[in-house]
Amino acid sequence: MTRPLDRLRAAAAEREATGLRRALRPRTPDHDGMLDLASNDYLGLSRDERLVEAAVRATREWGTGSTGSRLVTGTTRLHAELENRLAAFAGAERALVFSSGYLANLGAVATLARGGLVVSDSGNHASIVDACRLSRARVAVTPHRDVEAVAKVLAERREEHAIVVTDAVFSVDGDLAPLLRLHETAVRHGALLVVDEAHALGVIGESGRGAVHEAGLAGDCHVVRTITLSKSLGSQGGAVLGAAEVTETLIDTGRSFIFDTGLAPGSVGAALAALDVIESTPGLPGQARARARDLAAMAREAGLETTDPAAAVVPVVLGPPQRALAAANLCAERGIRVGCFRPPSVPPGRSCLRLTARANLRCDDLAAVRGALTAVAELKVDT
């Protein structure tokens, strides 16, 4: 018999040899003086004084924690206010706040799909993948953005009920789901459409109300949205948006809602302030998208593979994980922090840098990125 830790050490050594070892790197408040192109702070609000002050006020009034699950003591009047504001902002009938976007996806997908069928895009976020596994439903994974494949699975299903689940903006490739066609297909086959708007809310649409709203589907009872408060809203937490029947079902039976401690009041206060900022500064979403287009154009100028960004995510595909890791280190040496995505986050052969645009990037920031991407294009790595 092998010793359990020996097995773990051997697996870690194998990951090290193939460029798949990961490490935690604690940063300073100013990102160690580096230009941040790795976080999801798309509108640059996480350190905005209006959000900070709102978080402080909420903490002073309500305390540092929510003190319990939402159904016991973890729902304050502040939580109810945030749910009302989120629903109004996104054009939904109801909103239900969770302590993270991950748990919002677990709750929505696993609860709504239970005993039925889930049709899931192959590019969906890991939280959706985990939710599919927990749902105990039959799961059909369809090729990326392939509506015909979704229709075929739904047409041939034996289950009484089904959901179709997709990212709105895919978290690595940065492309947009074909929401109108998916919605038509889901409705035609009697299925709900569940859309993860984590990378769309605050960025897609002139007012930042997300991809579902931009597609004209915000009030449709067949559409359920999940969102995070930790990206464009600069806070922490998540929510499910949809019809009253959906949120009531989650309150009654959603395990990741019922058994989790409620979101801390400080995060609730910050998210409310973020909504105020976005509504009073309508140009922010467009600025984030413009900066993303700038980053993609510079990558293409350097001869690197990228995509036309739908929101604020810009992938730079480099192939082997060793090359992506070396490129991320090179950017760090030049004072730029970037995301480095390797398997299992991406398919083999598709390791990449993930650049995330922010509305408040300056011209000198972009000049530094241009030089770094040129150096990445010239990088030679043994794999």
In this prediction, residue 326 carries a pLDDT of 95
**pLDDT-derived band at 265, boundaries 50, 70, 90:** very high
Q: How confident is the model over 56-111, as pLDDT tens digits?
A: 999 999 999 999 999 999 999 999 999 999 999 999 999 999 999 999 999 999 99
Query: In the 3-class helix/strand/coil scheme, how is 105-134 assigned residue by residue?
Result: HHHHHHHHHCCCEEEEECCCCHHHHHHHHH
Domain CATH number, residue 301: 3.90.1150.10
- Check whether 47 has a pLDDT greater than 70: yes
Q: Which domain holds residue 167?
A: 50-280
Residue listed under structure tokens 């989650």? 250
- 73 shares a domain with 134: yes
- 267 shares a domain with 237: yes
Q: Averaged over 314-331, what is the pLDDT?
A: 95
36, part of any domain:
no
- Across the beta sheet with 192-196, the strand order is 94-98, 238-242, 223-228, 192-196, 162-167, 117-121, 138-142
270, part of any domain:
yes
- 304 shares a domain with 172: no
In this prediction, residue 301 carries a pLDDT of 97
22, part of any domain:
no
- Check whether 4 has a pLDDT greater than 90: no
What percent of the chain shows pLDDT beyond 70?
99
Sequence-distant (6+) residues with CB within 8 A of 17 are: none
In this prediction, residue 25 carries a pLDDT of 87
State how many domains the chain has: 2
Domain CATH number, residue 128: 3.40.640.10
In this prediction, residue 1 carries a pLDDT of 64
Residue listed under structure tokens 């090179």? 330
Residue at a domain's end among 240, 263, 280: 280
Mean pLDDT (the chain) is 96
- 353 shares a domain with 302: yes
74, part of any domain:
yes
Residue 270, beta-bridge partner list: none
CA dihedral sign of residues 243, 247, 253, 254: positive
